Structure 1
């Protein structure tokens, strides 16, 4: 039972990180109808900004404190992502209103390559480490219930808690604030929301800004675990099967889909890997997403689209 629970907990914690990245896809799609293929590049760009700003902060401020450097770096990276959201809206998406979905998708692909190139130009292409003080040593839990206990990585546990708190904050923001209700109104019907005075341009900038902050938090966590490198954008794309599973328009679906993918990857690697060969974690999520596309294309919590003619 102990090894099974270790695998299960590991999968749940990784799944929360997948869900955190998937939220960026869902938020932007719900508010603007744009499938943001650039979300993975946003995670990479934000992580690069955080890592480099944390290095530069002591030299610029003269304060040799890791906590101060991290706080200043986070604030600067967050402002950068908000500025990026404004530029994307003003220079790209604001000029493509009412265009075909494929046009908007290609625009986000262009943003992807721009961010990857800009990140390399501004911050370099080395592998950087983000150290925000997350504990690294594993601990044993439930030692009295199971012989030897359950080994849990403290960093994964802390990262999962941070992701869960951010998800809860976003849920409260959407449910309890006026801006959150406006965002939900825009998601339900753009034209109706505009007819009652909700400014779509401002709402879209807010949504892209929130998605940028989410990408920053996800980038910090993944950067702390794996180091900040350009393969990080590929890790972030693991959120694509998550949104297919949970539904592209559902925030709860992103959370549930992330947990299913995380747990499924870990359990399949441990219990199916010996018979099917290694590397199951690489393709498991995409095969599961393909099955869902064949059986339930709208995902577990997505809205079923019915066209009447």
Structure 2
């Protein structure tokens, strides 16, 4: 058994798992605030990655300037999207809003393909060294940046929800929208903030993945890969999204190791999280930290 390869894959899985965790937080944030699962989450990553790529390649901005501009653009994008497309649907059946997010997913993927093309394009070189040797392990510099940013975001989420006025308003809205509104909380502002934060964090993840794998429409599949993370951790649990991200990140890399050493099927890295998704739904459908709905008749 190649223990060096196994260690490398586990470490990579933990680092990528933190990225899965922060994207899963976006799902949880929107679901807790609006009770809607956003099927266009992957396209948020795609739009953020293409925006940063265009700023760096077309406008020749340095990364330290293009990246913050990308995040600022995505905040505005999230707010405008919620106000123009989703706000008129407040009060409509949840399935209608979910179908709209599916439509948005298809629309944005087609739009990005029309503007930038369908072929993958390499991200401009940001760091002088592509990888760093850490205790004998080669780790992508972009993943190191991702790990640092992800940890900062996780800590920021904790303090945001526990101490900030808007965070407390979001928690109240997630608990009961009507009660929150009766207490003077603007539910519309809470919804807009949830989509803005979701777009911002997704853009960060999109840029990191784009730096490693290039930017293409395939990047939107990252949003689908995060679904097992959300289901494992619990659709309404921020802590669950972090734990689920780490578990799925390690699981898919372990599946790749097993496949490369013994099975030789060639696709276990991609499909292993979805096998896990099926098992999770069968055994614990509310996830590890999700709240179980109790209905009394």
Shift of 1:140: 4.1
Which residue of 66, 71, 74 corresponds with 1:81? 74
2:219 is aligned to 232
> CA 1:134/1:222 → structure 2, altered by over 3 Å: closer, same or farther?
farther
Q: SS state of the match for residue 133, structure 2?
A: strand
1:38 is aligned to 40
Q: Deviations over 1:133-159 (max 9, x none)?
A: 274134140xxxxxxx44444443332
CA separation in 1, counterparts of 2:185 and 2:202? 26
CA separation in 2, counterparts of 1:69 and 1:224? 14
2:26 is aligned to 24
Q: Taking structure 1 as the reference length, what is the TM-score of the superposition?
A: 0.88
Q: Deviations over 1:225-284 (max 9, x none)?
A: 001111000123210111011011011111110110010111122135443322111110
2:283 is aligned to 295
Match runs of 1:165-176 below 5 Å: 165-176=152-163
Which residue of 272, 293, 296 corresponds with 1:305? 293
Shift of 1:126: 4.5
Match runs of 1:56-75 below 5 Å: 56-58=58-60, 69-75=62-68
1:188 is aligned to 175
CA separation in 2, counterparts of 1:2 and 1:122? 43
- Residues 21 and 239 in structure 1, CA contact (< 8 A), matched pair in contact too: yes
Q: Taking structure 2 as the reference length, what is the TM-score of the superposition?
A: 0.92
Which residue of 161, 176, 190 corresponds with 1:203? 190
**Could you list the runs of 5+ residues in structure 1 that have no partner in the other structure?**
59-67, 142-148
2:89 is aligned to 96
| 1:219 paired to 2:206 | yes
CA separation in 1, counterparts of 2:139 and 2:196? 34
Q: SS state of the match for residue 185, structure 2?
A: coil
Shift of 1:4: 3.3
Q: SS state of the match for residue 231, structure 1?
A: helix
CA separation in 1, counterparts of 2:211 and 2:129? 10
Match runs of 1:126-141 below 5 Å: 126-131=119-124, 132-133=126-127, 135-141=129-135
Shift of 1:33: 0.8
**Could you list the runs of 5+ residues in structure 2 that have no partner in the other structure?**
none
Q: SS state of the match for residue 121, structure 2?
A: coil
Q: SS state of the match for residue 59, structure 2?
A: helix
Pairwise CA RMSD: 1.9
2:248 is aligned to 261
CA separation in 2, counterparts of 1:135 and 1:175? 38
Match runs of 1:137-176 below 5 Å: 137-141=131-135, 149-176=136-163
> CA 1:168/1:111 → structure 2, altered by over 3 Å: closer, same or farther?
same
CA separation in 1, counterparts of 2:72 and 2:114? 19
> CA 1:280/1:134 → structure 2, altered by over 3 Å: closer, same or farther?
farther
Shift of 1:205: 0.8
1:63 is aligned to none
> CA 1:85/1:152 → structure 2, altered by over 3 Å: closer, same or farther?
closer
CA separation in 1, counterparts of 2:141 and 2:78? 33
Q: SS state of the match for residue 25, structure 2?
A: helix
Relative to structure 2, which stretch is displaced further, 129-138 or 3-12? 129-138
